[in-house]
Structure 1
């Protein structure tokens, strides 16, 4: 479980195809503090399990369905990704409850500055209309967003 509040932007160090999908290695500073093998971490909004860890990075395996449904399939070395460690009972819940299970990719249609923030308009993937409600939320690349219109 995550909150949709990005802790750090990591950098893809290495990504390679495997028999079961891909292995991705991400360099980070803050988001790897306390992170151990078998812990969950949100990478671009996708819940992944840590399979390797060193002082500056971690690695996770990604299955083909996740590569196809998420933006992880388009990552290359040097890509920047939003990172968030799994929530604990002590985590400040400043966002929303986010599971890290990806339903679809979408396209950003427009971006407008508005006050101290902004308004983003996304294409709504076919078949997901009934799940998107006013004042509900969606998560885009790990960022929790409230539906305004």
Structure 2
């Protein structure tokens, strides 16, 4: 491979990576007092396409997307729902054990059209979210 071919390959790869749509955020460490609260991101590690605004992902282009939430909580019998617009998709449920730090995670593959929103809500009131919790979404195709 020549230097010109290698430079071309590097530019093509960089171009593809620069347009990759997806995000990963650490969740804000707080107690959500209502199941209608939207769970907020705190530190955003990656936000390709700038489609995640700290509370919701707004679809910039149609396609299949994969979302994942991993929650650490000391709240008994609670969890986090992944929502698409107003529809509940999947629940990361932390269990019925004694209040101690428990972890739960769940993923959802879903087709999104432009403008669809994906966000997180508590299963019920008084959900304590630890700062080790994360939310990720990525366009698959």
Same fold? TM cut 0.5: no
Q: TM-score with structure 2 length normalisation? A: 0.26
Q: TM-score with structure 1 length normalisation? A: 0.25
